[in-house]
């Protein structure tokens, strides 16, 4: 009936919520590396790591980022 994506969060914390309520409060570096990836996806991966305790190399990165 309902299709659930592998990386979809079961709570109410989606990418829109992260972009509207969390990302604006994070500091931005003046120098250094600038990521080309979506910060909300990175934040969701960090939350998944904290929730599951899985090793960093075992995270399903391909399902969070589009290849391009």
Q: How confident is the model at residue 67 (pLDDT cuts 50, 70, 90)?
A: low
Q: Quick: pLDDT tens for 10-62.
A: 566 888 999 999 999 988 888 888 888 888 988 998 998 999 998 988 888 88
DSSP state of 51: H
Angle at 61 between CA 50 and CA 65, to 5 degrees: 120
Domain ranges of the chain: 13-22+35-68
Indicate the pTM of the whole model. Answer: 0.68
> How confident is the model at residue 66, as a pLDDT?
72
What is the four-CA torsion angle of 10, 53, 43, 13, rounded to 10 degrees? Answer: 20
């Amino acid at each position: 009936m309902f299709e659930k994506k592998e990386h979809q969060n079961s709570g109410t914390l989606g990418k829109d919520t992260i972009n509207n309520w969390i990302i604006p409060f994070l500091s931005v570096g003046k120098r250094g590396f600038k990521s080309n990836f979506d910060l909300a996806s990175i934040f969701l991966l960090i939350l998944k790591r904290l929730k599951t305790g899985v090793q960093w190399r075992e995270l399903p990165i391909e399902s969070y980022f589009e290849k391009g």
